[in-house]
Amino acid sequence: MQTQVMFDRQICFAAASEVDRVRKSRIRLSPLAYCVLLFHFLLPVSAAEPDRLSVYAPEARYSIPVMTLEGRQYVGLLELVEPLGTPELKAEGKRWRLHIPDPKSAGKFAEAEFEEGSPKAKVRGRQTTLSAPARSESRHLLLPMHGIGTVLIPLLGTDVTFHEAARRLFLGGTASAISSELRRGEPSILALHFAEAVNPNIHSEGNALILSFTRDPIVSFTEYQGLNDKLFASSAYQESNGAATLTINGTAPLLAKFADNGRTILISAAPAPPAPTTVASSPPVTQPEVPPEVAVQAPNVTDSAVLGAISPSARRPQAPTFLVVIDPGHGGTDTGARITPILSEKEITLALARRLRQELQARHVAVIMLRDSDSDLSLDQRVAATNLARPWVFISLHAEPGASLHIYTPVLPAPYDRPLERSTFLPWQSAQGAFSAESGSLASAAADALNKHKLNAQVRPAFLQPLHSIAAPAIAVEVPADAKGLKIPADQLAGALAAAIAERKPNTGGTQ
């Protein structure tokens, strides 16, 4: 393991050296071209996605790791049932005893007993046989994943549907089928309907739109369907490694929008990009806002993860003239605020960031997301990735239990003896000083756009990292949340923020 880490770091440092060599040469790189070059070197070291089991229950949706031992797949018993109650698992030598609140009888407990090295088990006093012997690793009791229903059905008193090949486990009848409706027209619209609000990861590859569902218990009884439409060619459904993927193949680029509070996804033709304009030969015009060459002092960060912090969505063939960086707060081991015992801030911010990205892309605004998965990013990594991309706007998203919507502008850590000039070297801890006025203007514009949707936002200054180190107009948005997620309509929130940001796009004459 140590050898692999050292090897990965050597590749990352070699990539950084090569990129710096190109920067110092006579080849002038645009900000996004710099990101593309960096990713070209970093892609070979990406690790394979670990095996996981996704569990869908009425009270919780979660994923747990899967281990392979002697050719069999195992899962941790405590990890499997902990989100469903408050279980206790105790070991007495090689015997393990599980106590969990009885879903059938309030105030009572259900019990199960297991023995390391034996396939014999006892659930609610009745003998059962596992598909393989129980195992113990690092004081964790592991049960074979195959046939896990023999334990869960009597223990929880619920029905179990297990898509074992795809590692998707549905408890209590949570699985619900996708229904689709092709609304033919010029152009047509494909409507996908769901029994409850969904939050897939959506991305495109050419003319294919790919929706990946991990936390949503959706299923489909049709693996392939020809659509025979001028815009839509076919749809394909597959399941793998705890996720379901729906691919819509079109004859042109496609765009997805949410409707009916997230219970419907409307897929249509993506808007055509703005037609290029021919400009008569004249001296170049200097843009009024963020200059292309703002030098920012680098932090003392040697971790190679800084180099790979930018989302793969940054890999575009040409650099956009207007770029927005979205920072979904927290992630990985940093869960943020606990909205409920099973819902954390990091999940809400990522879902909102994806919705905001869709709204911005619909307005022809290029977007980079600092994370598009449940990954760890330090504050320094977020700052380094953002300033490397040199965006025109930076927006950080947060959530908290409450009822108020807040927009924060950065308060710098110390007063300045003299105004900062953008064309000079900007210190790392106070780079925002050259952009504070524009950050305030952006916050006011965002609040006005939200007020038009009757979403009252309070604008406040705050010393909120990493805003003070961002070399661009920067704000943080904190949204109220409860057990059901956002307490305000996500589509209205994302649409209003996108409209306010798009207004700042130069030479557009207003929103797109």
Tokens of 121: 């088990």
Give the model's pLDDT for residue 304.
Answer: 34
Residue 121 backbone dihedrals phi, psi, to 5 degrees = -145, 165
Question: For residue 28, what pLDDT is reported?
Answer: 47
Q: Evaluate if residue 98 carries a pLDDT over 90.
A: yes
Q: How far is CA 389 from CA 238, 314, 380, in A?
A: 35, 9, 14
pLDDT in tens, 143-169: 999 999 999 999 999 999 999 999 999
Tell which residue, 151, 149, 142, 164, has the closest CA to residue 78: 142
- Within its chain, how far is the Cα of 432 from the centroid? 26
Please give the sequence-ordered ranges of beta strands (E in DSSP) within 222-354, or none if there are none.
224-226, 232-240, 243-250, 254-259, 264-269, 295-296, 323-328, 338-340, 343-344
Split at pLDDT 50, 70, 90, the class of 275 is low
The region, left, alpha or beta by phi > 0 then psi within -120 to 50, assigned to residue 80 is alpha
Strand segments, DSSP code E, in 329-482 are 338-340, 343-344, 366-369, 393-401, 405-410, 425-426, 457-462, 474-482
Closest CA to 404 of 460, 341, 347: 460
Q: What is the pLDDT of residue 426?
A: 61
Q: How many angstroms separate the CA atoms of 52 and 69, rounded?
A: 14
What pTM was computed for the model? 0.56
Complete domains list, the chain, with CATH: 67-166 (3.30.457.10), 177-269 (2.60.40.3470), 289-502 (3.40.630.40)
